[in-house]
Amino acid sequence: MAHIARKRFGQHFLTDKAVIDAIIDAIAPGDDQSMVEIGPGLGAMTLPLLQRLPASSQPLTVVELDRDLAARLRKRGDLTVIESDVLKVDFGALAQERGRKIRVVGNLPYNISSPILFHLLQYVEQVVDQTFMLQKEVVDRMAAGPGGKEYGRLSVMLQWRYDVEALFDVPPEAFDPPPRVDSAIVRMTPWATPAVLDEALFSEMVASAFSQRRKLLRHSLGRWLEARGYGGDFDLHRRAEEVPVAEFVALAQSL
């Protein structure tokens, strides 16, 4: 029986073989790797990944919330299937079980893509890289540089910890059912030597900076800094979207 896409799970199944091949080429599965796929769905990426993964690699692990799809995947016998909400999965434990860092891939549900990215951020030290299909608008925000409307909290929070690279776009007709938006593939590679800072403080600071993005920073971040007794010379006479990631990082370190 054909599986009917469930709107509550944000299901859009990738069907375009040329796009699938391009994604697998971008992932480039290699020897002795431990790979985890989020949202395998009907296996559009899963099966080509299995074909490309060398015998020396560990079994492919998939995380699927839909119990019917999870049951279907479990019947294959060549996958480790985790039937769960991805936001409840401990990716650090997965890496520890396998004794190595993991590579994470997947066609992420667009309705909860940002929460998934922030969930994975806490396990970044256990990750080799992440290659995802996301809504193009989200990928544009993730990879944006300062000075444009796409640059925001998501850009800063991810770019301080990852090299974010937008790879290529994917049109709606590559899916069944077609989404109402364009999609894109993004690769996220953790920086080998990330800046050392208080992550909770950094997150709070960046959220404050972008809370009133149309106003100068003195109206938002300025008040936040004043409440913490900051006496430095950070330029608050500009908007948050004008501040490079490195300057936000330096400010957090100075605090």
Residue ranges covered by each domain of the chain: 7-190, 199-254
Q: Would strands 13-14 and 175-176 be described as parallel, antiparallel, or unpaired?
A: antiparallel
CA nearest to 113, candidates 158, 71, 168, 50: 158
> Is position 12 annotated in a ligand binding site?
yes
Mean pLDDT of 100-128: 93
Per the prediction, the chain carries an average pLDDT of 91
pLDDT of residue 145: 96
The CATH number of domain 199-254, selected from 2.40.50.140, 1.20.120.1630, 1.10.8.100, 3.65.10.10? 1.10.8.100
Q: What are phi and psi of 162, to 5 degrees?
A: -130, 150
Question: 46 burial class (0-12, 13-18, 19+ CB within 10 angstroms)?
Answer: buried
| pLDDT higher than 90, residue 115 | yes
Q: What is the pLDDT of residue 11?
A: 55
Is residue 236 exposed (0-12), middle (13-18) or buried (19+ Cβ within 10 Å)?
middle
- Residue 53 annotated as binding site: no
- Contact between 57 and 32 under an 8 Å Cβ cutoff? The reply is yes
Q: Is 39 a known ligand-binding residue?
A: yes
Reported as a pLDDT band with limits 50, 70 and 90, residue 6 is very low
* pLDDT tens-place string over residues 140-152: 999 999 999 999 9
Task: Establish whether 107 is an annotated binding residue.
Answer: yes
| Max Cα–Cα distance, the chain, nearest Å | 66
Distance of alpha carbon 252 from the chain centroid: 23
Q: 4 pLDDT band (50/70/90 cuts)?
A: very low
Q: Cβ–Cβ contacts within 10 Å for residue 126, how many?
A: 21
Quick one: which of 143, 138, 217, 152 has its CA closest to 182? 138
Q: Is 219 annotated as a binding residue?
A: no
Residue 3 annotated as lining a ligand binding site:
no
Contact 36, 97 (CB under 8 A): no
Given this model, what pLDDT does residue 133 score?
Answer: 94
What is the third-level CATH fold of 7-190? Rossmann fold (3.40.50)
Residue with tokens 């800063």: 156
Per-residue confidence (pLDDT) for residue 8, from 0 to 100: 43
User: Average pLDDT of 211-238?
Assistant: 93
Q: Residue 126's pLDDT is what?
A: 96
Query: Which region holds residue 249: left if phi is over 0, alpha if psi is between -120 and 50, else beta?
Result: alpha
In this predicted structure, the answer to whether residue 2 has a pLDDT above a threshold of 60 is no
Instruction: Give residue-wise pLDDT tens across range 148-192.
Output: 999 999 999 999 999 999 999 999 999 988 878 899 999 999 999
In whole angstroms, give the CA distance from residue 108 to residue 203: 23
Query: pLDDT tens digits, residue range 185-196?
Result: 999 999 999 999
**Closest of 85, 94, 14 to residue 60, by C-alpha:** 94
58-92 pLDDT per residue, tens: 789 999 999 999 999 999 888 999 999 999 999 99
**Any idea of the CA torsion for 23, 98, 86, 136, to the nearest 10 degrees?**
-20
Is residue 19 scored above 60 in pLDDT?
yes
